[in-house]
Amino acid sequence: MNSILQCESLSKKFSGSAALSNINFTIERGRIIGLLGPNGSGKTTLLKIINGLLVPDTGKVQISGMEPGIETKKIVSYLPERTYLADWMKVSDTIDFFKDFYGDFDAKIADDMLKRLKIDPNKKLKTLSKGTKEKVQLILVMSRRAELYCLDEPIGGVDPASRDYIVNTIITNYNENAAVLISTHLIAEIENILDEVIILKDGTVILHSSVDDIRTKEGKSIDSLFREVFKC
Amino acid sequence: MLNKLMKHELRATSRLLVPLYLILLFISIINRFAFKLYSYSGIVGIISKFLIVTYVISIFVVIIVTVLYMITRFYKNLLTDEGYLMFTLPAKTHQLITSKLLITLLWLIIGIIAVLISLLIVFAVPDTVSYTINEIKEIMSILSREFGGSWVLVFTELIFISLLSLVGNILLIYVSIALGQLFSNHKIIGSFAAYMIIYTVIQFLMILMLIPFGVYTSKNSMGVSSLPQVIFPAAIIILMLGCTCFYLATDYIFKRKLNLD
């Protein structure tokens, strides 16, 4: 049982047009995987299916051998591209909320990260900037000792100085039992921490390979490979 | 899990509703004095009449705001961006629905109690209190005269019917919102349309059911004693059926057809 995530011939249509068609891949524990692709290639749809927010038309997803449901939600930590926290809450309220609902949430990690990023836990989310709110969400998500982290554009709205810290948190906070699936456009920023990449195009997987293989075979970085494949 | 969901639902909603009820009670205290000045002429009388009108409006506002706030909360918390958090909690969808339903019921009951207390504050003097108590006694005696020993049954059935219609109405709104979110655009208009359609269909079904009933009662005279034996139980069963359908439909849509933007 080493694979944490398995997708088998997944397909999903939205009002006639295919958002995902016949997706197959397996992710092993202990890996950091970049989920790459241009806008509208199906990254968010895929993450929503893994998190049970969408039901696929055909095919199945298994997380640690289970279909998305209450048991998988206990072990999957999901960062959507949305601000999903109610803005009347204080930062400390959101920590209480996570502590209450997720058995694997470690409040100490969260407190440390808040201090490190100089975020005042007594502030209301309403009063924080968009970037700071994103940081709070990422802190909450990464403070869980989950088995699979699904991060949808985790660094998109965050300033470059904090990006390094966040990217660092991602690598230091997960253990070898867990896997991290990161969807992003900012490939160059996170290329160094990725073990594998999955590239999506028009709802299909066009490449799933280890980063080392790409570098030795193609002799180029993921960033330049991506720019070549999706050249306009 | 249901307890935790309810705890957080209560925490989130008490922010607005507790101050609302406190304001109502505060207005009531002011009006107790304003009411005494009611018969005065001139500016004092005008101000006191103005205050009484404001008070009557505020009673309606309290109940309407409670209902609207809880419905908006249901929509916002589950079907906008906040839904990404709520639907990825390790909770079953029916627990999400139940927690919202129970807390809405709780606030409505608290709201009604607040209104009653407020009426007491404004109007209660020894005379009115004893008058009200006498009235209640009178109603009780009429009930027991009409229904014999079964007035307790009538009373329980009526409470059940009121609670079930309340629950049914809330669930009808939930299922309409759930149906509305199936549309990619115009989710809110979709919800209103769904509500209208379901409401009309139910009215239509009720009329269809009343026709055979009318025919039956015109041939066989039914005494008032048939209320607790036949009509109220039938109403309870129909309401329960309706509630179950709405609840299961909402749960199914959220489980299989969730469509968060």
| Structure-block tokens of residue B239 | 């309401």
Who's near B248: CB < 8 A, 6+ residues apart? none
CA–CA separation, A165 vs A9, rounded Å? Answer: 37
Q: Do A82 and B81 touch (CB under 8 A)?
A: yes
Option in B8, B88, B184 nearest A53 (CB): B88
Shared domain check, B59 and B75: yes
**Considering only CA atoms, which of A4, A46, A48, A7 is closest in space to residue A25?**
A7
State whether B70 and B140 are in the same domain: no
With a CB cutoff of 8 Å and minimum separation 6, the contacts of B103 are B6, B9, B10, B13, B70
Taking alpha carbons only, the member of B241, B225, B237 closest to residue B154 is B225
By the CB < 8 Å criterion, does B8 face chain A?
yes
Taking the CA atoms of B101, B103, B109 and B115 in sequence, report the sign of the dihedral they define.
negative
- Examine the domain organization and report whether B136 and B147 are in the same domain: yes
How many CB atoms are closer than 10 A to CB B239? 18
Lowest mean pLDDT among A122-126, A220-224, B237-241, B254-258: A220-224
For the domain bounded by A3-229, which CATH number is listed?
Answer: 3.40.50.300
pLDDT of residue B221: 65
Give chain A's length: 232
Q: Where is the domain boundary, B124, B151, B171?
A: B124
* Number of structural domains found in chain B: 2
Tell me: the pLDDT tens digits for B191-228?
999 999 999 999 998 888 888 877 777 776 666 666 77
Q: Is B185 an 8 Å CB contact of chain A? A: no
Residues B184 and B230 in one domain: yes
**pLDDT tens-digit profile of B14-62?**
999 999 999 999 988 888 887 777 677 778 778 888 888 888 898 999 9
**Secondary structure (3-state) at B78:** helix
C-alpha closest to that of A147 among A43, A77, A61, A70: A77
> Where along chain A do its domains lie?
3-229
Give backbone dihedrals phi and psi of B145, rounded to 5 degrees, phi first. -70, -45
Helix (H) or strand (E) run with residue B140 in it: helix B126-147
- In this structure, are B108 and B208 located in the same domain? no
Tell me, letter by letter, the H, E, C secondary structure of chain A: CCEEEEEEEEEEEECCEEEEEEEEEEEECCCEEEEECCCCCCHHHHHHHHCCCCCCCEEEEEECCECCCHHHHHHEEEECCCCCCCCCCEHHHHHHHHHHHCCCECHHHHHHHHHHCCCCCCCEHHHCCHHHHHHHHHHHHHCECCCEEEEECCCCCCCHHHHHHHHHHHHHHCCCCCEEEEECCCHHHHHHHCCEEEEEECCEEEEEEEHHHHHHHHCCCHHHHHHHHCCC
B66, B95, B124: which is the final residue of a domain? B124
Taking the Cβ of residue B146 and every Cβ of chain A, the question of whether any pair is shorter than 8 Å is answered with no
pLDDT digits (tens, 9 = 90+) for B62-97: 999 999 999 999 999 999 999 999 999 999 999 999
Backbone angles phi, psi at A63, to 5 degrees: -115, 115
Residues B108 and B216 in one domain: no
Q: Which of A14, A49, A97, A99 to mutate to test the interface with B (most CBs of B within 10 A)?
A: A97
B138 and B255, same domain (yes or no): yes
Sign of torsion over alpha carbons A116, A118, A124, A127: negative
Amino acid at B116: L
Cβ–Cβ below 8 Å for B184 and A101: no
B149 and B67 belong to one structural domain = no
**Global pTM value:** 0.89
Restricting to A residues 137-196, those with a Cβ less than 8 Å away from any Cβ of B are: none
Select from A103, A101, A54 the least CA-distant residue to B91: A101
Per-residue pLDDT of chain A (232 residues; tens, 9 = 90+): 578 999 999 999 988 788 899 999 999 998 999 999 888 889 999 999 999 999 999 999 999 999 999 999 999 999 998 889 999 999 999 999 999 999 999 999 999 989 988 899 999 999 998 888 988 999 999 999 999 999 998 887 778 877 888 788 788 777 778 999 999 888 888 888 889 999 999 899 988 988 888 888 888 888 888 888 887 7
B56 and B163 share one domain: no
Residue with tokens 């009930």: B143
CA distance A64 to A5: 6
Substitution target from A101, A104, A126, A147 for chain B, most B beta carbons within 10 A: A101
Contact A36, A222 (CB under 8 A): yes
B149 and B227 within one domain: yes
Query: Which residue, of B73, B100, B124, is where some domain finishes?
Result: B124
Is residue B6 within 8 A of residue B100, CB to CB? The reply is: no
User: Does residue B141 share a domain with residue B81?
Assistant: no
Helices B151-180 and B93-123, packing angle to 10 deg: 120
Minimal Cα distance from B9: which residue of A? A97
Same-domain status, B54 and B130: no
To the nearest whole Å, the CA of A47 is away from the closest chain B CA by: 11
CA distance A96 to A107: 8
CA B131 to CA B123: how far, in whole Å?
12
Domain extent at residue B140? 126-261
